[in-house]
Amino acid sequence: MSEAFSNQAMSEPLQQLCRLAAALRQAVQRVIIGQEQVVEEALIALLAGGHILIEGVPGLGKTLLVETLAKTISGDYQRIQFTPDLLPADITGSMVYDPSDGRFKLRRGPVFTHVLLADEINRAPAKTQAALLEVMQERQVTIEGKPLPLAPPFMVLATQNPFEQEGTYHLPEAQLDRFLLNSRINYPSQAAEQALLERLLSWKQPLANNTDAAQAILAAADLPKWQQLLLEVVVDQRIVRYVLALVRKTREMEQFAVGAGPRAGIALLVAARARAVLHQRGYVLPEDIKALAPAVLRHRLQRSPAPEIDGLTSDDLMAQLLQRVPLPRE
């Protein structure tokens, strides 16, 4: 089936990117055990130059994942713990008066980094959450009317707790749409959890996040060059039509009060190219779209009241969507 979607040989640079992607996956999985899907989706966001929102209860390794990603690209890493009293200036920075020379000087916020962890982002009110919007979209910060660009690469990995927990706020729709992917992190399997406990015995600091096993694979400054190579990944017109059919079907299904916009289709194709590279291919397959549809679409859709009353989750509706849209033929 794969040959039906491309008969074009990969260029040497694209082959190098595939090898680099495999090395990145291996480096991250040395540290993160039992979360293969989340690791893959985080790497897809990294390679595609996008941001990722991870949902899950505390204690499942989200912070460790971000630290490991930053280490594999030799990049800077910052963490913001979102709380109800966090201010926008705590994120972006501000002008601070220096009494030594009587001038105001720029105090850069934690967004001036390569990999930013916005931890428990839904614990802060909407105004503070929105402070990330310009940064995520424009990759720059405006302080006192002056735009300050961020040095590439720049990736936001945000985490949020389930909405049923106390003290949480829904993210603004405009900000949700800026996340390339919305991933779900679940409890590890029994075998993975046992492997984690056994590895704990070799740690010098048992209660600390141990990223010593993580290896630097590339320099952060080189990542944009590799990201540009994704444009060489072949996307057949049948794949484009399949993506279009999925997005438009969300606007027709009565289970969704609000369907996906055009940005969703763009995100699907961008993420699919990165997934193809992770799977050592120079072309996109329907399985790439099918595998990524839940992570790309679930945060861009609003359920109608009826499915919520019936107890149907967003992933249940994703399964229905994929069943209603046939896969492209060879």
Q: Report the pLDDT averaged over residues 191-199.
A: 79
Split at pLDDT 50, 70, 90, the class of 285 is very high
Q: Hey, is 271 helix, strand or coil?
A: helix
Q: What is the per-residue pLDDT across 235-261, written as a single tens digit (0 to 9) for each?
A: 999 999 999 999 999 999 998 888 899
Residues ≥6 apart with Cβ < 8 Å to 251: 259, 260
Q: What is the per-residue pLDDT across 153-167, written as a single tens digit (0 to 9) for each?
A: 999 999 887 665 666
- Going by C-alpha positions, the residue among 176, 153, 158 that lies closest to residue 48 is 153
Q: What is the per-residue pLDDT across 61-89, written as a single tens digit (0 to 9) for each?
A: 788 888 899 999 999 999 999 999 999 99
CB atoms within 10 A of CB 12: 8
Where b means 16+ CB within 10 Å and e means fewer, 269-302 reads bbbbbbbbbbbebbbbbbebbebbbbbbbbbbbe
Weakest mean pLDDT among 182-186, 196-200, 291-295: 196-200
What Cα–Cα distance (Å) separates residue 68 from each residue in 39, 117, 231, 254? 10, 12, 26, 41
Set out the domains of the chain in order of their start, with CATH numbers.
1-34+222-330 (1.10.8.80), 51-179 (3.40.50.300)
Q: Hey, is 302 helix, strand or coil?
A: strand
What's the pLDDT at 250? 94
The pTM for the full model equals 0.91
